[in-house]
Amino acid sequence: MYILQESLFSFEDLLIMHSKDRLPIFFSTLDLRPYAKELRSRSPRGADGHCREGILRALLAAPLEYIQTFTGLHHRLDTDLRFRYQCGRPLDREAPSIATLSRVFANLTKKDLAKQLFDDLVERCRQDGIIDGSHVAIDSAAIHAYEKKQPKKKSKQTGNANWGAKFDSFGNKMTWFGYKLHLAVDTKSELPLALEVTPAHVNDGDMAPSLIEIAAAKTSVRFFMLDAGYDQMKVYEAARNVKAQAIIPLNPRGEKEPPAGMKTDGTPCCSMGFAMTYWGADGDYLKFRCPHATSKVDCPLGMSACSSSNYGMVVKVDAKDDLRRYCSPHRDTKRWKELYNERTSVERCNSRMKTYLTADDMHIWGIQKVKTHQYLNAIVLLASALAMNRQSKEAAA
């Protein structure tokens, strides 16, 4: 079930603006000077180089303008004087060469500055109330590689692009050569909180604990929403370690028989075999009541066979006994389903990065550069949110 969630900003509204209007709004909330300073050459020798802040602006404008290559970016800077000016480049100098753009990008990767800028913008969005962070959805997306395809056995040895496979929403198996983009997304704003890039063959469940830890360090997370592919004990334990609850459907593959007197979803049964009624949680304990007492079933023995109380029999289950099977709120209740439906926010975030930006249109090699490329796309979403939020406040003032 897909639900339409309210967003604090409209990324699509920014996209439909003309470039001459969009870029000034986009750059209005970004102070790139501290990051550009780290990109400057320490050597005093040689002719005056290009302004690193201008090149950094151009690298960020490229995904927003759907410019996929350094060649395309150089051509745009060289032929579009307005674009060059909006990127902070002087009009009386030649546009930076393709080699210069590539070199700055490589330096950005080496110094991990894209991640630093991403983390700083996440914090700014949190402070401005754009990111709530109490509910977080996690999922992965297929990213196709620019590298030449390799046999699976050989590509595993490189640590870069590899063959991956997963099932789409219709149950069809899809394969690709490349990477996986793993995202943790705030479900309220649909903005990324954390990301990782791995070769395509890496299991989603292996990356979830680190994403959970990173997201929890940035915000106070109460719930993590993940699909059935993440139904692994280590994911539940990772959420528990940061005092949050993982909302994950049980994966029927490899499912063992539940304990005696228990349904698969963790609901205890009464002595007549009826599923008991979930009645809330008390700390780590889930409370279940007699289904006859709660009018869920018409038991032929009534309540008297199980309890002398007119409240009916009560069973309490300690969620710590099995973090996977027991969940608060209880699995498949209305509240649990409402929380799980918020997982679609990460799918929409993935879609924006791959459809409107350049996350899945790469012309670079190597997993570290691919990661920088994905950070730049995620930064565009965060900066757009800050810019549109500022526009809204100014319009309301």
In a domain, 384, yes or no: no
Q: Of the candidates 299, 328, 357, which is a domain's last residue?
A: 328
Confidence tier at 4 by pLDDT (50, 70, 90): very low
Per-residue pLDDT, 14: 85
The verdict on 357 and 209 lying in the same domain is yes
The verdict on 51 and 157 lying in the same domain is no
230: which DSSP letter? G
In a domain, 148, yes or no: yes
The verdict on 224 and 322 lying in the same domain is no
The verdict on 64 and 91 lying in the same domain is yes
Amino acid present at 9: F
Task: Say if residue 286's pLDDT is above 80.
Answer: yes
Digit-coded pLDDT (tens) for 326-365: 999 998 889 999 999 999 999 999 999 999 999 999 899 8
**pLDDT (mean) for 248-266:** 80
Q: At what angle do helices 367-396 and 52-64 cross, to 10 degrees?
A: 80
The verdict on 230 and 287 lying in the same domain is no
Contacts (Cβ under 8 Å, ≥6 apart) of 46: none
List, as one string, the DSSP characters of 337-377. HHHHHTTHHHHHHHHIIIIISSTT-----SHHHHHHHHHHH
Mean pLDDT of the chain: 88
266: which DSSP letter? S
**pLDDT (mean) for 277-305:** 86
In a domain, 393, yes or no: no
Count of CB atoms within 10 A of residue 128's CB? 15
Confidence tier at 240 by pLDDT (50, 70, 90): very high
Digit-coded pLDDT (tens) for 177-191: 999 999 999 999 999
Digit-coded pLDDT (tens) for 101-136: 999 999 999 999 999 999 999 999 999 999 999 999
Confidence tier at 6 by pLDDT (50, 70, 90): very low
Digit-coded pLDDT (tens) for 301-325: 877 777 777 788 888 998 888 888 8
In a domain, 97, yes or no: yes
Within its chain, how far is the Cα of 175 from the centroid? Answer: 21
What's the domain count of the chain? 3
Alpha-carbon distances, residue 57 vs 74, 84, 180, 375 (angstroms) = 13, 10, 26, 14
The verdict on 217 and 143 lying in the same domain is yes
SS3 141: strand
The verdict on 240 and 151 lying in the same domain is yes
In a domain, 191, yes or no: yes
Contacts (Cβ under 8 Å, ≥6 apart) of 20: 82, 86
The verdict on 51 and 178 lying in the same domain is no
Q: Which of 22-26, 154-158, 163-167, 218-222 has the lowest mean pLDDT?
A: 154-158
Q: Of the candidates 77, 111, 145, which is a domain's last residue?
A: 111
Q: The pTM is what?
A: 0.90
Count of CB atoms within 10 A of residue 107's CB? 16
In a domain, 379, yes or no: no
In a domain, 231, yes or no: yes
Contact 368, 375 (CB under 8 A): no
The verdict on 302 and 184 lying in the same domain is no
The verdict on 47 and 196 lying in the same domain is no
SS3 191: strand
Confidence tier at 1 by pLDDT (50, 70, 90): very low
The verdict on 94 and 136 lying in the same domain is no
Task: Say if residue 48's pLDDT is above 60.
Answer: no
Q: What is the CATH number of the domain that holds 185?
A: 3.30.420.10
**pLDDT (mean) for 363-384:** 95
The verdict on 95 and 199 lying in the same domain is no
Domain extent, residue 106, equals 31-111
Contact 108, 114 (CB under 8 A): yes
Category of 24 on φ-ψ map: left (φ > 0), alpha (ψ -120 to 50) or beta = alpha
In a domain, 2, yes or no: no
Q: Of the candidates 76, 111, 146, which is a domain's last residue?
A: 111
**pLDDT (mean) for 55-69:** 95
